[in-house]
Structure 1
Amino acid sequence: MYYFFTEKAVDVESGNNAVFTRIGRVCANDQGGQRMLVNKWSSFLKTRLICSVPGPHGIDTHLDQLEDVFVLKMKDEKNPEIFGLFRTTSTIFQGYAVCVYNMDNIRAAFNGPFAHKEGPDHHWTAFEGRVPYPRPGSCASQVNGGQYSSSKEYPDEVLRFVREHPVMLQAVRPQHRRPVLLRSHGDRRLTQLAVDRVEAQDGHYHVLYIGTDDAVVLKVMTIYNKDSDTMEEVLLEELHVFKNPVPITEILISAKRQQLYVGSELGVAQVKVHQCDLYGSACADCCLARDPYCAWDGVTCSRYLTAGHNTKRRFRRQDVRHGNAVQQCDGVPMNGEELRRLQEKLVYGVENNSTLLECKPRSPQAKVLWLRQSSTNNDEVKPDDRVVRTPHGLLFLRLQKADAGTYLCQSTEHGFVQPLTLLKLEVVEEERLEELFVRAGTEEEAGGSAPRKAPAPPCPLPGPRQGSTSRVWYKEFLQLIGYNNFHKVEEYCERVWCSDRRRKKLKALQPKWKFPPNSPDRRGGTRGDRPRSPRHTQRHSETT
């Protein structure tokens, strides 16, 4: 039986207490010794589990605090892959890493030399004396010529040796001698780890589900490049599982149901391991997502099924390793046609005020490029002290008249350029607004203490106000400022305020039941002997 733990020990080089992650081994049929180690483990051995980042001059940075372990079963059940989630023990900065270990390396460490140390000030060295028989730490068995059926039959020499030499000299190092995932920044604390092995068109990939302390599960894929001996991390999704920011305490994967079960102190949530429809119906978006669960089937981004499944659509395009949309989506309408199909959106901003041009790519790995179109060419918008690039778009801190124009937002990923949004920015002059406020203040003073009427809503409300002849407030506003593009602004405002969805929303705000002014229900009384809770509250309590 193998198990993992973290313990404090004295570092020989510094003399200070240090934290080490260990992997221990003990026999399942261990009954202790007959005269020595009575009612104690007689087969316990341990060795160090290393997860470190290679540094210059051969000096590695170690992550020694073990947070979680996940055992990924393979076809050979005796040789699973071990995934460990580690963090640094430093109080200065906090970093996390995921390392993968082979069972062959773990067995080799326990079958290797025993560690030996003469005194507290001496370094660990290999034990060069005679190792008794049977080998200390081995399990009692009469199979294959074994002479002992129980640990109580072991000679005292074997039990004495295992008591004095419980540490193995050879440590267990991860695959490729480096972590498969490394996080050295961020305020989130990583708490749990689960791994799924996914078969894609170009091979098998490990998808890591990492729980955090703020109710988020990170879905990350790792890719090892053998030619450059480097690891690539691809963040596929951030799953916000619970509304309250509570730590994730457990993650389980059901490969049969294709579901993820996430636990916290609030309860258990069920989440799909893949949501291919979120990547859209375009071939390029599906390919650039690089999600091994998903592929473009000729119509939309859907679940990738292996050759053994009966699929209705055989036209599948997927490139998880490189995400080459140009090659995979050859012949599919892209770039030029997509740009022509983009609808220009009108955005208004007030001079010397802040304005955000929204644009966010589907893929978190994509880089956003902003271009300002002109009659001759397209110029890249570079950030400065007045213009800032944010994850949500291009932010103008102080808008100027010269900023008016047409802006194109496009994403760049793996050599594929894709237009996202085409925005036309109109700038409203600040002087016109000042005149409006001055006139409004003058009218209020002339009217004395009479209260000002609230501006009429842009769309006629249902009910008694349906036939109202009051003027629309934004038309008065535009006439006062004398804006030259009055008709364009009027069309824009009517489209925003007077859409069918807006009318339905205003209609829904009207009360369905009306009572006389002196009705008991209007005064807060009830018709029965006891108050009744609202209908939606009762339904919620019943379902709960």
Structure 2
Amino acid sequence: MEMICSPKDHLFQLESHKFERGRGRCPFGPSSSFTSILIEPKFIGSYMIPDNEDHDDNKVYFFFTEKALEAETSTHAIYTRVGRVCANDMGGQRMLVNKWTTFLKTRLVCSVPGRNGIDTHFDELEDVFLLQTRDNKNPVIFGLFNTTSNIFRGYAVCVYHMASVRAAFNGPYAHKEGPEYHWALYERKVPYPRPGSCASKVNGGLYTTTKDYPDEAVHFARSHPLMYQPIKPVHKRPILVKTDGKYNLKQIAVDRVEAEDGQYDVLFIGTDNGIVLKVITIYNQETESMEEVILEELQVFKMPVPIISMEISSKRQQLYVGSESVIAQVKFHQCDMYGTACADCCLARDPYCAWDGISCSRYYPTGMQAKRRFRRQDVRHGNAAQQCFGQQFIGEALEKTEERLVYGIEYNSTLLECTPRTLQAKVIWLVQRAHETKKEEVKTDDRIIKMDLGLLFLKLHRLDAGTYFCQTVEHSIVHTVRKITLEIVEEERVDEMFNKDYEEEIPHKMPCPMQSSIPQASKPWYKEFLQLIGYSNFQRVEEYCEKVWCTDKKRKKLKMSPSKWKYANPQEKKARIRPEHYRLPRNIADS
């Protein structure tokens, strides 16, 4: 199987039967114009795929979108097509001289079955990927589509087998008939050799070149390029549908993985903002439904630039991602990020990873892993309770809860950070108020927002103080990931401390002492703040602050007036604080 022209550039134009890409040309046939059988095509990719062992019967399949004349609902409808032409097509002798004589096309359908037989179609092809199998004549075709609907914006991934593709091209032709010239099934006699077939021994060997084809067969091929039967996907539905509007999906690459409970196709989907989604889909035959499992969301590039190409190296276990100016190399798997417990590893449902009795590590097929008897993996169900029985399932590693102490200034914003190890886990926040024994679920509103990174308080109130529990729920397993104690510092106390006249006290109270041993009478300003919030481990914090604040670089910054570090109430103190004194959040300032 050989790619004829690059599928990554939409600058393909049909001119003299050659694909033109930039300055270079990628010809695979005789010279002529396709304008009468293609209408405003946009080419995505083309591949040489053999049908059998006879090389003279090899065909080129190419994927594109075009305006569809047969669409009765709209004259401007866009359809995705698969085109086919014989690799040895030399054109006709008297008709179609130096023009294709074996060109055929048919529709590639990707739709979601709906009620009353009305399907939701994803008609515009964004990218195509051919997954090679052990049989080079039967690759698996993955198409990434979007919808041209004015109602909503969505994306879908559909999978096709070559058997379906060949069946459509070997089936009946489409034909315009009747007074209104509707497209219908052509049921009359088809000339010999069959239009679209190649000059090869497999087809009888009577013709050694297309120049010997009868005029009747050549004329029929020219007037009937469209096949009647479309190509439908596996399971007659997409394996993945995304309509949340979170990403615009642009590229797709696929790796086939052997796991403990079967074979899985891992989809790597590139977006227009530099993110790669790592996804598997699991088909439930009983309910005829697909389960989508997002394994990772990888921010490949620092800047949110569109991904324009992706290539896979299964041998090196690497994904190569390209933008207009940068190429990145990404590992297929990072098993250690799923934690140090058997349950966490199994709940991840990553076919690349398994619990080996000690850690979450790379899964190898049978006979390739020394610790095979300890392997625990359940991609299809993620049943950690069954897989991890006696393997630290309810042991120390799972029950460990990270504890943090966070101080927030009244009326300011604060983020309580907590992210689950797997994207399938549901996050629940509970709070235990001071002097209370019961926990209650945190209620979100315009002021308190649940985010992917944690719980965001846009404006802290005194009543927000308490102990917050970040819990993840997945497959009936509840795990308290983080316990955060939130202390609220009252605005009046902070304002009172920072409104002191520091200029008068600077000779006696240096923010960065020259010696590490500070006289008792001359305490740095941050010590007053620590005493104000009542930090218990005062000595360790003092040592840390001296290291942070008392460098030459920091000493230069601290020559400015201490009022520059004042915390301000955005509502009531705005008149007294100049706008330039506000500091941007660290992530904004760095960008």
Taking structure 2 as the reference length, what is the TM-score of the superposition? 0.77
The answer to whether the aligner puts 1:72 opposite 2:72 as a matched pair is no
Deviation, 1:433, is: 3.3
- Counterparts of 1:188-199 in structure 2, within 5 Å, are 188-199=247-258
2:206 paired residue among 144, 147, 165: 147
The answer to whether the aligner puts 1:436 opposite 2:502 as a matched pair is no
Amino acid at match of 2:102: S
Aligned to 1:466: 516
Aligned to 1:538: none
Aligned to 1:475: 527
Indicate the SS of the match to 1:432. Answer: helix
Aligned to 1:225: 284
Aligned to 1:83: 142
How many angstroms apart in 1 are the aligned matches of 2:306 and 2:449?
33
2:409 paired residue among 334, 350, 359: 350
How many angstroms apart in 2 are the aligned matches of 1:366 and 1:280?
14
Q: 1:403 to 1:149 in 2, by over 3 A?
A: same
How many angstroms apart in 1 are the aligned matches of 2:393 and 2:492?
44
How many angstroms apart in 2 are the aligned matches of 1:143 and 1:10?
34
For the 8 Å contact 1:12–1:123, the answer to whether it is kept is no
Deviates more, 1:325-334 or 1:171-180: 325-334
Q: 1:390 to 1:142 in 2, by over 3 A?
A: closer
The answer to whether the aligner puts 1:34 opposite 2:78 as a matched pair is no
How many angstroms apart in 2 are the aligned matches of 1:273 and 1:202?
19
Deviates more, 1:413-422 or 1:428-437: 428-437
For residues 340-369 of structure 1, the C-alpha deviation after alignment (integer angstroms, 9 at most, x for no partner) is 643532222234443332211111111111
Deviation, 1:115, is: 0.6
Relative to its length, the structure with more helix (as a share) is 1
How many angstroms apart in 2 are the aligned matches of 1:453 and 1:208?
65
Aligned to 1:539: none
Deviation, 1:496, is: 4.8
How many angstroms apart in 2 are the aligned matches of 1:317 and 1:124?
56
For the 8 Å contact 2:70–2:183, the answer to whether it is kept is no
Deviation, 1:475, is: 3.1
- Counterparts of 1:282-297 in structure 2, within 5 Å, are 282-297=341-356
How many angstroms apart in 2 are the aligned matches of 1:189 and 1:67?
10
The answer to whether the aligner puts 1:403 opposite 2:464 as a matched pair is yes
For the 8 Å contact 1:136–1:159, the answer to whether it is kept is yes
Q: What is the percentage of aligned positions where both structures have the same residue?
A: 60
- Counterparts of 1:4-403 in structure 2, within 5 Å, are 4-10=63-69, 12-90=71-149, 93-118=152-177, 121-143=180-202, 145-186=204-245, 188-312=247-371, 314-334=373-393, 337=396, 341-373=400-432, 376-403=437-464
Amino acid at match of 1:378: K
Q: 1:52 to 1:144 in 2, by over 3 A?
A: closer
Deviation, 1:260, is: 1.1
For the 8 Å contact 2:92–2:213, the answer to whether it is kept is yes
Amino acid at match of 2:525: W
Q: 1:423 to 1:246 in 2, by over 3 A?
A: closer
For the 8 Å contact 1:53–1:178, the answer to whether it is kept is yes
Q: 1:380 to 1:334 in 2, by over 3 A?
A: farther
How many angstroms apart in 1 are the aligned matches of 2:135 and 2:177?
41
How many angstroms apart in 1 are the aligned matches of 2:278 and 2:193?
47
For the 8 Å contact 2:356–2:371, the answer to whether it is kept is no
Indicate the SS of the match to 1:124. Answer: strand
For residues 451-502 of structure 1, the C-alpha deviation after alignment (integer angstroms, 9 at most, x for no partner) is 9679644xx66xx4435433032333466x6x6xx3xx152x65456349x7
For residues 369-393 of structure 1, the C-alpha deviation after alignment (integer angstroms, 9 at most, x for no partner) is 1223476543222223443322222
Deviation, 1:40, is: 0.7
Indicate the SS of the match to 1:311. Answer: coil
Radius of gyration: which is bigger?
1
For the 8 Å contact 1:338–1:419, the answer to whether it is kept is no
Amino acid at match of 1:235: I
How many angstroms apart in 2 are the aligned matches of 1:20 and 1:454?
79
For residues 114-149 of structure 1, the C-alpha deviation after alignment (integer angstroms, 9 at most, x for no partner) is 111026833211111111112111111234643111
Amino acid at match of 1:390: M
Aligned to 2:41: none
Aligned to 1:536: none
How many pairs align?
A: 492
Q: 1:339 to 1:297 in 2, by over 3 A?
A: closer
Deviation, 1:230, is: 0.8
Deviation, 1:504, is: 8.0
Cα RMSD of the aligned pairs, angstroms, is: 2.8
Q: 1:154 to 1:340 in 2, by over 3 A?
A: closer
How many angstroms apart in 2 are the aligned matches of 1:340 and 1:204?
32
For the 8 Å contact 1:335–1:418, the answer to whether it is kept is no
Aligned to 1:426: 487
2:547 paired residue among 503, 517, 526: 503
Amino acid at match of 1:466: S
Indicate the SS of the match to 1:433. Answer: helix
Deviation, 1:188, is: 3.2
For the 8 Å contact 1:12–1:122, the answer to whether it is kept is no
How many angstroms apart in 1 are the aligned matches of 2:542 and 2:227?
74
Amino acid at match of 1:72: L
Q: 1:325 to 1:12 in 2, by over 3 A?
A: closer
Amino acid at match of 1:389: K
How many angstroms apart in 2 are the aligned matches of 1:343 and 1:15?
59
Deviation, 1:224, is: 1.0
Q: 1:160 to 1:328 in 2, by over 3 A?
A: same
Amino acid at match of 1:475: K
How many angstroms apart in 2 are the aligned matches of 1:80 and 1:339?
42
Q: 1:238 to 1:116 in 2, by over 3 A?
A: same
